[in-house]
Amino acid sequence: MDVEHKVVLVTGAARGLGRAVALAFARQGFAIAAVDIDAEALCAVVRELQSLGVRTCSVRADLSTAARAREAVERVVAELGGLDVLVNNAGTASVEPLLEITEEEWDKVFAINVKGLLFTLQAAARHMSGNGGGRIINITSPASRMALPNYTAYAASKAAVDSITRAAAVALGRFKVNVNSVAPGRMDTDMQRWTEQKFAALAGKEVTEFVEERTKSIPLGRRACPDEVAQAIVWLAGPEASYVTGERLNISGGLEVE
């Protein structure tokens, strides 16, 4: 695709899927704006991006408030000269039994996974709408379609992401802004490892045994690789997906239908 002067903003870019997405776009020649709250990990991924010879911008930000989300987008536009693609990847997880979910934990999950995503989308869409359009890809989860009593806050937050994606696709279509989501399967990321330790403890199982059983339950029988999920996200940002909007792309090995 013609990527000259194209700018991609990736939230949660320092680790896991976000890092894989940032590197995948960089290999295609896009300028990359990497946003994350972890300053040390953010510096490391920026060095990787710069080694690929692309223009980069890094923003350390907590996106859980509307003001911070807006400031991050404005800084990216100012430093890189525009914004063509937003990948709303930043997120957090919570593992608590349904009857033990605390207000603090619920608010934390929704502040990042829903509030931060919405207001980052809003700020990016305002820019894109006045500059010929763009692509927005939100990261959701198979959890939003599954009954997970120990993962309720996270699953509910991703159901909200699904709803925001559909609403934004309708609202922004006339401005040539396509909005879609991607639901990745179980990946060996830092967040996945943390959640599986918690799940295993609640199940009274050793972590290795629990992970093996959980992996076998996936219809395709294996875990997702961040790089293969990243390639699908790059596709959604490209010309082949120009008539795709309001959709959810499941890259989960069939997990959400088990």
For residue 177, what are the β-bridge partners? 134
Backbone angles phi, psi at 7, to 5 degrees: -120, 130
Is residue 42 within 8 Å of 49, Cβ to Cβ? no
- Residue whose entry in the numeric block shows the structure tokens 């990016």: 124
Q: Which residues contact 222 (CB under 8 A, 6 or more apart)?
A: 215, 253
Catalytic residues: 154
Closest C-alpha to 75, from 29, 25, 116, 34: 34
Question: What is the C-alpha separation between 156 and 152, in angstroms, rounded?
Answer: 6
Using CA atoms of 158, 159, 160, 162 in order, give the dihedral in degrees to the nearest 10: 90
Query: What tokens does 102 get?
Result: 């605390």
Q: Strands 134-139, 85-88: parallel, antiparallel or unpaired by DSSP?
A: parallel
Q: Is 130 exposed, middle or buried (0-12, 13-18, 19+ CB in 10 A)?
A: exposed
